[in-house]
Each structure stands twice: as structure tokens, then as C-alpha cells.
A = this chain, B = another copy of it.
Amino acid sequence: MHSSSPASDVPLQVAHKRERRKDARPGELLEAALDLFVEKGFAATRSEEVAIRAGVSKGTLFLYFPSKEELFKAVVRENLARPVTEGAAELAGFTGPTSELLLHLMQQWWARYGATKASGISKLIISEASNFPELARFYQDEVVAPGTELVRRVLQRGIDRGEFRSMDLPNTVFAIMAPLIFLVMWKHSMAPCCDPAYRIDPEQFITLHADLMVRGLLKEKGP
């Protein structure tokens, strides 16, 4: 009732609606764009739709991103950085057997990336790569190369510790990663519209895939 309380002068909750929004806008737009690009592809996504889903007008979208193509690139950059950097950190502190490390990394990758909406951009890029060679190269450099390197180091660890037999590293790395990325692509393309009978449970599959790989890589036990 009495306005003598100094606290009432500071409308903490209200704040400047417009100004607050300005900071939030790019994020909101990127999220809306991610949804739609993943769902419909680059060309089939109309920029106005992105704006509407972000709760703004067409014009506002172009206030933050100069073109649909730049929006696309921003979406990719925004979502690619995460999974790689996060994943790389795990390797260092691990002390157990490499087979367990491999399983752990795969499970983490799924939980933190594959299972999230962001995994849609892997599908996106592979689908649109030929139309956006620049992005393809970016993806190669920022995701494929470091991811490959990470897995290679894990395998090397197994060899160094006498757990794994020697192997053709590049192809083995590909053999380990391909099913994971394909899983993500599948989830974003075929899975939603197809027979549940053929649906794959990711966690289960990853466990099995890791097991298969490990069995295939393990040094054969002597007699």
C-alpha cells in the first residue's frame, strides 16, 4: 500500500521487455530455424515460417540474419560446436579398460547429441552438402576431423595397453562411427514415418554395436 519500500522502485521481474527480447531473439530464431530445417530441409523451409515459429514477423528475422542462407549457416555453427568439444573432454580422465571407454563415449555421444534436436543438423548437412560445399567443409573440419581423431586415440589406447589387436585404424574408426551417425539420420528421416516393428532402440543398439566392435577388436585370448 505505501510506496516507501525502496524495492518497489526496481521492477526486477518486469524489466525492459523489448531490450530483453533483443538479446533473446537470435537464439529463438536459431531454435525455430533448427526445428524447421531439420524437419523439412533448407529449401522447403519458408523464412516466414521460421519467423512465425519464433514468434516474430518476417522483417525481424532479416534484422538478425541477412539472408536465409546465413540463417542456415548460423544454425549449423551454433549446433556443431557443442558435441565435439564436450565429447573430447571425456577421454582424458578415464582409467578403466578401453572397451568400457568406448561404450561410455558412445553412450555419452548419444545422450548429449544423438538424442537431442541438434542431431538433426548432421542429417541436414549430409543432405544438403552438395548444395553448400562451404558448409560441408566446415562440418568436415569442425566435426568429422576432431571426432575421427577422438575415436582414433581411443583405439590407439586399446592397442597400446595390449587390449586390442593391431588394426587398420581409418577404416575401423569409420566402422565405429558410421552406425552412430546413420542412427541419427535414420531417426530424423525414416523412423518417424515408418513401421514401429522396424524401429530401433538407440540405447540398446549402441550397447550392441559397442559390444560387437569390442569383440571384433579384442586380442584373441591365447590357449
Contact = CB atoms under 8 A, between A and B. Distances in A.
A88 interface: no
B190 A140 contact: yes
Given A172-B212, A205-B174, A193 B40 contact: no
Contacts of A136: 189-190, 193-194
Interface in A151-200: 168, 170-172, 174-175, 178-179, 181-183, 185-186, 188-190, 192-195, 198, 200
Give the copy number.
4
A41 B43 contact: yes
A205 B209 CA distance: 17
A180 to B, nearest CB: 9
A95 to B, nearest CB: 25
B216 A211 contact: yes
Interface in A49-91: none
A223 B221 CA distance: 10
B41 A204 contact: no
Nearest to A148: B198
B190 A129 contact: yes
Contacts of A117: none
Nearest to A207: B171
A178 B178 contact: yes
A100 interface: no
Pick from A39, A137, A182, A201 the residue with the most CB of B within 10 Å. A182
A189 B126 CA distance: 6
14 contacts: A39-B130, A40-B130, A41-B127, A41-B131, A126-B190, A127-B127, A130-B189, A136-B194, A139-B190, A178-B186, A179-B182, A211-B216, A213-B216, A215-B215
Given A44-B131, A175-B209, A182-B182, 16 more contacts: A41-B130, A43-B44, A123-B126, A127-B189, A137-B193, A137-B194, A170-B198, A171-B201, A171-B204, A171-B205, A178-B178, A178-B182, A179-B179, A212-B212, A215-B216, A223-B223
- The 5 A-B pairs at the shortest CB distance, nearest first, are namely A43-B43, A127-B127, A212-B216, A129-B189, A178-B179
